[in-house]
Structure 1
Amino acid sequence: MSDLIVIVYPTEAKAEEVRERLFELQKQYLITLSDAVIATKNDAGKIKLNQLVNTTAAGAVSGSFWGLLVGVLFLNPLLGVAVGAASGALGGAMSDFGINDAFMKELSGSLQPGNGALFVLVKEMTADKVLKEIAGFGGVVLKTSLDETKEQALRDALQKASAAPAS
């Protein structure tokens, strides 16, 4: 079972810095991520999701390949590529991997413009080591599916980092 963790940072750049650190920790086998998305809200109130995988582009590439293959069989490869790319892009745009986009947009509605919310779907992690690595970045826990003791440990570690510059 995966755990969802959402942490709000003062800027999108800070959220991206934490996401990059989590990727480094994944290379060290301290955490296994299913998804890691950064959500931001602009001054007009529009929510933007910075996802790892652009499913529309991936679908278009895959569709182009299969369209070319089918097109060669029917002696019209250009038409096959065009139809394949269009159908692949449509299929990619309609698919949703990892964290549900509608859920992220709804939860991000409470963000202040300029803030960055890091949505992380964690399969497995060595909690004490990962927490030690990300605590220094600060942030505020918005939502988690962790049990109460783990969630409180996360909140405490992030709060200490946020309070440290003020003292």
Structure 2
Amino acid sequence: MADLIAIGYPDEATAADAEREVQRLTGELIIQPDAVAVISRDREGKFHVSTNHHAVGGGAMWGMFWGMLFGMLFFVPFFGMALGAGMGALMGRIEKSGIDKTFQRQVRDMLQPGTSALFLVVEKVTPDKAVAALSKYGGTVLKSSLSKDTEEALQEALHGQPAS
């Protein structure tokens, strides 16, 4: 089962710093993320997104996932994506994905102007080492577990084939 983790920070820069730490932890196999994204919201309320994908995660498709997820959470377009038939189907999958409404509301409430958040889709993590390394950044942690069925449905929507 994969987890969607969001860690919110009270300023615009800390999520990017924490993302660099996640990359270091990835190299040490402490965290094995499928995808990582940083979203910050400037003082004017504009969202800024950066993503980092691993080749095995299908980078372009994870970009679509983040785009649809952030569009659903914040009602904003991502990378100027048009909502065509394929995107509509993916959006429907994400909406039905088991990412509960409470998690969605908490993420929206957390990302106020002048803040940032780190998002991770993770299956494997060494919790004690990851917590110790990331605790220096502080933040508020939110987590939504994705069921195996949800993972497979999203994988199929993202890649056009069931997860192996």
Q: Flag the 1:36–1:14 CA change in 2: closer, same or farther, 3 A.
A: same
Deviation of 1:13 (Å): 1.8
The 5 A counterparts of 1:11-160 are 11-52=11-52, 96-97=64-65, 100-105=69-74, 107=104, 109-110=108-109, 111-141=111-141, 143-145=142-144
Within 1, Cα distance between the matches of 2:49 and 2:74?
8
Aligned residues: 107
Per-residue deviation, 1:102 = 2.1
How high is the TM-score relative to the length of structure 2? 0.55
Asked if the contact 1:47/1:109 (under 8 Å) is kept, the reply is no
- The SS at the match of 1:96 is helix
Q: Which runs of 5+ in 1 are unaligned?
A: 54-58, 60-91, 147-167
Whose helix proportion is higher, 1 or 2?
Answer: 1
Structure 1 residues 36, 101: closer, same or farther in 2, change over 3 A?
A: same
Q: CA RMSD in A?
A: 2.7
Cα offsets for 1:29-62 (capped at 9, x unmatched): 1110111111122333332222226xxxxx9xxx
* Greater RCO (CA < 8 Å, at least 6 residues apart): 2
Query: What is the identity, as a one-letter code, of the residue corresponding to 2:64?
Result: D
Gaps (5+ residues) in structure 2?
Answer: 54-58, 76-103, 146-164
1:41·1:109 contact (CA, 8 Å) conserved in 2? Answer: no
Task: Considering fraction of residues, name the structure with more strand.
Answer: 2
Name the CA distance, whole Å, in 1 between partners of 2:73 and 2:123: 18
Query: Aligned to 2:44, what secondary structure does the other structure show?
Result: coil
Letter in 2 for 1:134: L
Native 8 Å contact 2:12 2:42 kept in 1: no
- The answer to whether the Cα contact below 8 Å between 1:41 and 1:47 also exists between their aligned partners in 2 is yes
> Which has the higher Rg, Structure 1 or Structure 2?
1
